[in-house]
A and B are shown apart, each in its own frame.
Chain A
């Protein structure tokens, strides 16, 4: 037995990459003009830092940065810089923006990856259980807790978790990503980071979990009422197999879209959690950039974030077609 392979949708992919590139270009141009709208420019900022307002010096810096050029050639230079991943310089952090962001990236990836994996697994297990026992006590408990979590501000959950698990019980560290002073290496370091990761990952996942449970439960209930489920029952297959193999796979389609959106938005999604837990990720960097008016850094993160959103959307559409054969990618 050999399944028939579906052809890879190259045409679809090419079209979507082209659209994505266009969208990125539009976002970059809009961001460029937003930058220009902000009072002052890099030359003034740098001169201010150097403690001088000498017009000749500022003019020299402007020439050096190309700020004396016409707006359109400045735009072109900006786009070229973006295309080469040169996002400029952060005067607040005294570091190139790209270096700054990519050094923070692993921490955010780790936090969001763990949180979303926990939320997807939990959302499926609890959502399916709730649907299988619809309106009986397991469903009542799960649905009530999900509603409670959905209605609670995520940062408050984070603070409460710190208070209970870190401060009162002392099970986990209160903040940060690792105990730098311990100079751990190898597996010790991995264990130390994992220990630090537990609380923020759980806090972040709870926010998604509440949404995923409700989504899976509703989808399951809808699918379980369909004809083919009764036909499958008449085949003598078990309720568990029915739930996970037939109902869930159909019910999970809307979840794929929502998880995809959350994944694509991972840079901005963790701002509050990273701030509450002093987690050294891009989200916290964004928060700092906002408070210190580091406009260039902030906009760079936004442009990058929009790139990930577009990429995630494309991947979701491809994945959707893999799960759902009735979808034709065109």
Chain B
């Protein structure tokens, strides 16, 4: 079962030229072929930075300090734009949060899908175009031949996100990173898009990294979950395990703030805030970054950062893990 296709090891990202201001403080995780890994955590904890780092698309204002990202065992040259171009879309596709702003307003949507294929594969125009139509059909867009020539402003948010998904999967990547792919959409459309992603995953075997605030979505779609807090990995576990038996107090807080994650999407189960605030990324606290908000915190927590502990596939970074299971 465990067949890591993407491995992130001790990834540290800081504000450019400020190694003390850490956005990611040494994050390690892996994604297995064909699985869905959900990444959850409060706003600003570094979820998007993690995915942008994998794509080699970090903003100019930040830089990688240390760590490696391996794809199929090979280290990704994430600072080499030219080399990363061959990885983007071809091996790792990405879907972003805002479908309304994701497409160039001046080109028909089909052309923008075509652009991906033409960039990565030497195909005759007609064959590439046939593939565009096929892709638009597969993402359940109506009248693909006509729709391909529509401009983005004529499409709804849900339709645009389908086009973006078609674009991201056009060259059959092995991994799809979806950074809050449904946050900007209506609830009913959200469910449709998630069903589409799962169906495409079944058909193509693509691994999905799903970044979301929606625990209901996680419960329904993810195989494993990684919980992040303030630039660290707090906990990681198979989905069921995490929901039933969270070990990190932060995870526990998140779950308790969402009455019933199994039915949370129907209740609009978005992460609710835990009292207190996240420490600033410039704050050089030596211990656990959750300590100021943690009910279990001790002097040890404030003094020393907890090393990760593993119980099989379930890992957490905490000195005093939660022991009682949720009911």
Chain A residues within 8 Å of B, Cβ to Cβ: 1, 3-4, 226-228, 230-239, 246, 249-250, 323-326
Q: Is the CB of B103 within 8 A of A237?
A: no
Q: Is the CB of A237 within 8 A of B85?
A: yes
Q: Is the CB of A231 within 8 A of B115?
A: no
Q: Is the CB of B119 within 8 A of A250?
A: no
Q: Is the CB of A234 within 8 A of B94?
A: yes
Cα A249 to Cα B94 in complex, Å, equals 24
Is B226 in the interface zone, CB < 8 Å from A?
A: no
Closest to B60 in A: A134
Residues on A with C-beta less than 8 A from B57 are 230, 233-234
Chain B residues within 8 Å of A, Cβ to Cβ: 55, 57, 81, 84-90, 93-94, 96, 98, 101-106, 108, 110, 115-116, 119-120, 125-126, 129, 146, 148-149, 151, 153, 164, 167-168
- Some 21 contacts from A to B, beta carbons below 8 A apart, are A1-B125, A1-B126, A1-B129, A1-B148, A4-B146, A227-B101, A228-B101, A228-B104, A231-B96, A234-B57, A234-B88, A234-B94, A234-B96, A235-B119, A239-B81, A246-B106, A249-B104, A249-B106, A250-B106, A324-B106, A326-B151
Known A-B contacts A236-B87, A236-B90, A237-B85; the reply to A324 vs B164 at CB < 8 A is no
Q: Is the CB of B85 within 8 A of A236?
A: yes
Q: Is the CB of B116 within 8 A of A236?
A: yes
Shortest CB distance A325–B (Å): 4
Q: Is the CB of A235 within 8 A of B164?
A: no
Instruction: Give the residue of B55, B126, B146, B151 whose beta carbon is less than 8 angstroms from that of A234.
Output: B55
Known A-B contacts A3-B149, A226-B101, A228-B104; the reply to A237 vs B119 at CB < 8 A is yes
Cα A237 to Cα B104 in complex, Å, equals 14
Cα A1 to Cα B134 in complex, Å, equals 13
Cα A237 to Cα B111 in complex, Å, equals 13
Cα A226 to Cα B104 in complex, Å, equals 10
Cα A325 to Cα B55 in complex, Å, equals 31
Q: Is the CB of B104 within 8 A of A246?
A: yes
Q: Is the CB of A250 within 8 A of B104?
A: yes
Cα A324 to Cα B151 in complex, Å, equals 10
Cα A1 to Cα B127 in complex, Å, equals 10
Closest to B51 in A: A234
Closest to B91 in A: A236
- 6 tightest A-B CB contacts, nearest first: A227-B101, A236-B88, A325-B151, A236-B85, A234-B94, A1-B129
Q: Is the CB of A231 within 8 A of B125?
A: no
Shortest CB distance A288–B (Å): 46
Closest to B177 in A: A234
Cα A51 to Cα B302 in complex, Å, equals 108
Instruction: Give the residue of A230, A238, A249 whose beta carbon is less than 8 angstroms from that of B85.
Output: A238
Select the residue from A1, A232, A236, A246 with max chain B CB neighbours within 10 A.
A236
Residues on A with C-beta less than 8 A from B96 are 227, 230-231, 234
Cα A258 to Cα B93 in complex, Å, equals 39
Residues on B with C-beta less than 8 A from A249 are 104, 106
Instruction: Give the residue of B93, B103, B110, B149 whose beta carbon is less than 8 angstroms from that of A228.
Output: B103
Given A231-B102, A236-B90, 15 more A-B residue pairs with CB atoms under 8 Å apart are A1-B125, A3-B149, A228-B101, A228-B102, A230-B57, A231-B164, A233-B88, A234-B55, A235-B88, A235-B89, A235-B119, A236-B84, A237-B116, A246-B104, A325-B151
Residues on A with C-beta less than 8 A from B116 are 235-237
Shortest CB distance A271–B (Å): 37
Shortest CB distance B137–A (Å): 15
